[in-house]
Structure 1
Amino acid sequence: MKLLTNAELASLLDKDIFHKISSAADSLNLECYVVGGYVRDLFLERPSNDIDVVVVGSGIQLADALKKELGRKAKLSVFRNFGTAQVKYRDLEVEFVGARKESYTHDSRKPVVEDGTLEDDQNRRDFTINALAVCLNGPRFGELVDPFDGIADMEDGIIRTPLDPDITFSDDPLRMLRCIRFATQLNFFIEEETFDALERNADRIGIISGERIAEELDKIMMTKTPSKGFVDLQRCGLLQRILPELAAMDMVETRQGRAHKNNFYHTLEVLDNVCKHSDNLWLRWAALMHDIGKPKTKRWDQKIGWTFHNHNYIGAKMVPEIFRRLKLPLDSKMKYVQKLVNLHMRPIVIADDVVTDSAVRRLLNDAGDDIDDLMMLCEADITSKNEVRKRHFLENFRIVRSKLHDLKEKDYKRLLQPCIDGTEIMEMFNLKPSREVGELKKVLKDAVLDNKVPNEREPLMQLLMEKAREMGLCQDKA
């Protein structure tokens, strides 16, 4: 963070767009301020192209004046129902809103809005670090207005609400997720009184739509260390209300002196490991979901202790419902996450034994183009504190990767797909789509994947005819 004087702020705002806003505001005799995240990020030395401007008066009027000043290259959008307007110009977006004060009803986060002063507008802001305003009017250009010591909170790395946090969060419960998201993005701590209010108001999250919740979770997921956010979500009670399947993993049970690991914290370690190597949002979601089936599959075995058999399969079946509830996409992105959850044990099983060509071929066939992401997830999943066992897995993963590389070099899609397909099988034996066709296809597929016969027409045809005779489909053929 960098402390800035008013003169330094004026220098940072010495840009054509701000001077044009200033000129338009002064010509209309309107008081105006750049506010919120743009100002915060000036002090945090973070880039930002989204500019919010508060006008003591009509934001729409000032936006219209700016559009005329900028000319045809600027695009103006007006939202009269909300009293806001947006001007897009080159790579910038400037949002204009009239200063206002708000009041809420208990069952909605949509406020009743009245015209207000700058002070009213800053009072309604979610956090002190977002309640900063810098004047754009000519005589006061660059003057900071910081009524809640947001600068001091930034210095201390604290997230705090300007007013009573219970009122702030109860009025608009989405602010609870934003609180945790900002703390995660900025690596700040949530002030104690503010965190206590998160716990007291966690039930209020029920009035927030799945889409808005998912939007905040995505932003937490895309931070450098998302585990910080999910720990805070769990500690304050929000996680069990929005992702109860994940919250349920935060427990350790001991029986006969044998305990299983805490799968919640293991999952967060895997997620952070993935984040070190990939900014793929959906791979990060797969990491978060990879062990989601463990609570449902946990069993005690007298001989071997705790087991989680088929947790990958059960977890994959849980993914669509979680995505549906959070209004996450149900298209190829969901299927990608589901696929990685289902397959995430396969490379680990292979790497725990002798790495055979057959197992690697089958893995590549099932994972397809997602094989590299699957391998990244599985390597991130090796969190054992036993260094000898960890080295064993990682060395075997190196062998698996080498064999995968060789297969991909040889055009694996052609190599692993039998050259005799289902359509030809149906024509040969006068069959319709049926169990028999599936069985014949499986015989050919298994033979190719296990490298028992080359993927060539003559040896595969011989194998097909042998199986067909065994099934009674061609007794008359010798």
Structure 2
Amino acid sequence: MISSKPLDIPCSLQERKVLEKIALAAHELGVPAYLIGGFVRDKLLGRRTKDMDVVCVGDGIALAHKVAESLGNNIAVNFFKTYGTAQVKWNDLEIEFVGARKESYRQESRNPEVVAGTLEDDQNRRDFTINALAISLKEANYGTLLDPFNGLADLDKKIIRTPLAPAQTFSDDPLRMMRAIRFASQLQFTIEATAFTAIQENAERIRIISQERITDEFNKIMLSPKPSVGLDLLYKAGLLKIIFPQMIDMVGVEMYEGKGHKDNFYHTLQVVDNIAENTRDLWLRWAALLHDIGKPATKKFEPGHGWTFHGHDAVGGKMVTRIFTRFKLPLHDKMKLVKKLVELHLRPISLTKENITDSAIRRLLFDAGDDIDGLMMLCEADITSKNKTKVKRYLENFELVRKRLKEVEESDRIRNWQPPVTGEMIMETFALQPGRIVGDLKSAIREAILDGEIPNTYEAAYAFLLKKAGALNLTPVK
């Protein structure tokens, strides 16, 4: 019986049940089947995973239908006849089926020419040795780990290595260069020296990859436990200057009259790592990545003072839109969030000074809205000094700012606030058409409340409106 045989990887009872059904279905169809790739790798590493890849020496789509039938409950099979792949979802598992294949590539494309092949052919085409590990689902050796490239040893040594010659591997499919760096960043592994050299030599080949695929891998690097690992590897490999040239502009320290500035590239990587310790929110991590992106364009040396970057927050905010467009990232809510945080990231720092007015606090709450907590997280991540006393002082100051923000918000309710007298009310009160006068009156009310000149109430705002309107010789209609 297949079920009585052990597996060379740890699996839950549910996973074992599914594998047994796959093995039985493959046996009935007469097609050898194997569990392969990321599921095997992650199970051996003790990582959570719910994606199974099954390769069979035969028709993967037919095997998927047979397995779905055995699982019952009218389980659907999503299949792509052109590619010979199929997917079955059962509970929280996603199982992908494909026939073993052999691939060959043309120089101008990463899309291979595919023919049916053996398990050995299929393992040869895998990107890395740790992804070529397979578990046999054949009755004769069910549960046995098949490791032709010593991937198990590479897992133990924490090495990213290609099954075949790395130069050929990366030239065939240049996206594998991004994947190598992504795995190094996610798993905290080291890319083998010859493989990394091959990435450097083939970096220009990344240009044939679609932006969507590049962005997908880049975002996975951004979501890794310590994103700086992958970002630094992208830089050293020569890939970053191709896919994200604005980041390269931040590299290095310039000296003049004995004064230098910090390396804004490595400072940024530290900020991204700092914020990654507190959130898995991809867009807060992007805000950290871009918070100083405007510095190269605003860098200036002022005699007697040193290097300045005046206005880099505003310039950086404008760059966010172009960068998101290039990366084909969401251009609505997510882009607006990142843009807002980049533009505001210096504001809380200014509030750490003494004698900051409630007006300044109100304005920050008004401008940041619901994103105030993310903004404060970014500002705290922006502290990268090696001077522990200085870091402690900054953090204490930010804690005071948080306290002030909370106090003013509780008393004034400014976050996401709109003035109690609207533009529509102004037009109705004075029989005005939409125009500059209406906008000026509305702005005056808003500024008066934010400055603390009048309370945040309808009565006070309306009285203020009548006063301002009177100065313009406007009278309310009866």
TM-score range, shorter chain: over 0.9
SS of 1:140's partner is coil
Equivalent position of 2:298 in the other structure: 297
Equivalent position of 2:384 in the other structure: 383
Equivalent position of 2:58 in the other structure: 57
Whether 1:250 aligns to 2:251 is yes
Distance, in Å, in 1 between the alignment partners of 2:473 and 2:317 is 37
Q: Kindly state the Cα deviation for residue 358 of structure 1 after the two structures are TM-superposed.
A: 1.3
Equivalent position of 1:3 in the other structure: none
Equivalent position of 1:21 in the other structure: 22
Whether 1:444 aligns to 2:445 is yes
Preserved contact between residue 370 and residue 415 of structure 2 (Cα < 8 Å)? no
1:303-333 CA-partner distances (Å, limit 9, x unpaired): 3211111111111111111111111111211
Equivalent position of 2:348 in the other structure: 347
Preserved contact between residue 358 and residue 408 of structure 2 (Cα < 8 Å)? no
1:29-84 CA-partner distances (Å, limit 9, x unpaired): 21111000111112111121111111111111211211221123422112110011
SS of 2:8's partner is helix
The answer to which of 117-126 and 10-19 deviates more is 10-19
Q: Kindly state the Cα deviation for residue 191 of structure 1 after the two structures are TM-superposed.
A: 0.5
Distance, in Å, in 1 between the alignment partners of 2:9 and 2:187 is 25
Distance, in Å, in 2 between the alignment partners of 1:365 and 1:201 is 49
Residues 352, 217 of structure 1: alpha-carbon distance in 2 compared, 3 angstrom cutoff:
farther
SS of 2:202's partner is helix
Paired letter, 1:412: R
Q: How many residues align?
A: 471
Residues 397, 128 of structure 1: alpha-carbon distance in 2 compared, 3 angstrom cutoff:
same
Distance, in Å, in 1 between the alignment partners of 2:84 and 2:315 is 49
What residue ranges of structure 1 are gaps of 5+ in the alignment?
Answer: 1-5
Equivalent position of 1:319 in the other structure: 320
Q: Kindly state the Cα deviation for residue 353 of structure 1 after the two structures are TM-superposed.
A: 4.0
Residues 86, 409 of structure 1: alpha-carbon distance in 2 compared, 3 angstrom cutoff:
same
Preserved contact between residue 37 and residue 132 of structure 2 (Cα < 8 Å)? yes
Equivalent position of 2:207 in the other structure: 206
Paired letter, 2:396: E
Equivalent position of 2:235 in the other structure: 234
Preserved contact between residue 416 and residue 449 of structure 1 (Cα < 8 Å)? no
Equivalent position of 2:177 in the other structure: 176
Residues 159, 469 of structure 1: alpha-carbon distance in 2 compared, 3 angstrom cutoff:
same
Distance, in Å, in 1 between the alignment partners of 2:279 and 2:157 is 30
Q: Kindly state the Cα deviation for residue 370 of structure 1 after the two structures are TM-superposed.
A: 0.7
Distance, in Å, in 2 between the alignment partners of 1:28 and 1:412 is 68
Distance, in Å, in 2 between the alignment partners of 1:257 and 1:374 is 34
Q: Kindly state the Cα deviation for residue 160 of structure 1 after the two structures are TM-superposed.
A: 0.8
Q: Kindly state the Cα deviation for residue 13 of structure 1 after the two structures are TM-superposed.
A: 7.7
Paired letter, 2:90: Y
Q: Kindly state the Cα deviation for residue 382 of structure 1 after the two structures are TM-superposed.
A: 1.6
SS of 2:47's partner is coil
Equivalent position of 2:137 in the other structure: 136
TM-score, structure 2 normalization: 0.94
Residues 85, 451 of structure 1: alpha-carbon distance in 2 compared, 3 angstrom cutoff:
same
Preserved contact between residue 365 and residue 415 of structure 2 (Cα < 8 Å)? no
Q: What aligned pairs does 1:55-454 form with structure 2 within 5 A after superposition?
A: 55-410=56-411, 412-413=413-414, 417-454=418-455
Preserved contact between residue 317 and residue 343 of structure 2 (Cα < 8 Å)? yes
SS of 2:284's partner is helix
The answer to which of 441-450 and 32-41 deviates more is 441-450
What residue ranges of structure 2 are gaps of 5+ in the alignment?
Answer: none
Paired letter, 1:364: L
Paired letter, 1:365: F
- Report the RMSD for the aligned CA atoms in angstroms: 2.1
Q: Kindly state the Cα deviation for residue 106 of structure 1 after the two structures are TM-superposed.
A: 1.5
The answer to which of 456-465 and 142-151 deviates more is 456-465
Paired letter, 2:420: C
Q: Kindly state the Cα deviation for residue 436 of structure 1 after the two structures are TM-superposed.
A: 2.6
Q: Kindly state the Cα deviation for residue 11 of structure 1 after the two structures are TM-superposed.
A: 6.7
Distance, in Å, in 2 between the alignment partners of 1:217 and 1:412 is 39
Preserved contact between residue 359 and residue 452 of structure 2 (Cα < 8 Å)? yes
Distance, in Å, in 1 between the alignment partners of 2:168 and 2:230 is 22
Residues 315, 131 of structure 1: alpha-carbon distance in 2 compared, 3 angstrom cutoff:
same
Distance, in Å, in 2 between the alignment partners of 1:73 and 1:360 is 59
Distance, in Å, in 2 between the alignment partners of 1:355 and 1:311 is 23
1:200-259 CA-partner distances (Å, limit 9, x unpaired): 111111111111111111111111100110000001111111111112111111110100
Preserved contact between residue 54 and residue 99 of structure 1 (Cα < 8 Å)? yes
Q: Kindly state the Cα deviation for residue 444 of structure 1 after the two structures are TM-superposed.
A: 1.5
1:418-466 CA-partner distances (Å, limit 9, x unpaired): 3222222233344333333222222211111111221234443443344
Paired letter, 1:323: F
Distance, in Å, in 2 between the alignment partners of 1:207 and 1:414 is 46
Distance, in Å, in 1 between the alignment partners of 2:330 and 2:118 is 41
Distance, in Å, in 2 between the alignment partners of 1:124 and 1:249 is 38
Equivalent position of 1:9 in the other structure: 8
Preserved contact between residue 412 and residue 456 of structure 2 (Cα < 8 Å)? no
Distance, in Å, in 2 between the alignment partners of 1:63 and 1:415 is 51
Distance, in Å, in 2 between the alignment partners of 1:218 and 1:344 is 22
Distance, in Å, in 2 between the alignment partners of 1:106 and 1:135 is 34
Distance, in Å, in 1 between the alignment partners of 2:464 and 2:86 is 71
Preserved contact between residue 341 and residue 375 of structure 2 (Cα < 8 Å)? yes
The answer to which of 81-90 and 459-468 deviates more is 459-468
Q: Kindly state the Cα deviation for residue 413 of structure 1 after the two structures are TM-superposed.
A: 4.0
Q: Kindly state the Cα deviation for residue 154 of structure 1 after the two structures are TM-superposed.
A: 0.9
1:82-130 CA-partner distances (Å, limit 9, x unpaired): 0111111111111111111101111211110011111111110000100
Preserved contact between residue 365 and residue 414 of structure 2 (Cα < 8 Å)? no
Preserved contact between residue 53 and residue 96 of structure 2 (Cα < 8 Å)? yes
Preserved contact between residue 409 and residue 415 of structure 2 (Cα < 8 Å)? no
SS of 2:79's partner is strand
Q: Kindly state the Cα deviation for residue 410 of structure 1 after the two structures are TM-superposed.
A: 4.1
1:390-430 CA-partner distances (Å, limit 9, x unpaired): 33332221121112222333461489543222222233344
Equivalent position of 1:474 in the other structure: 474
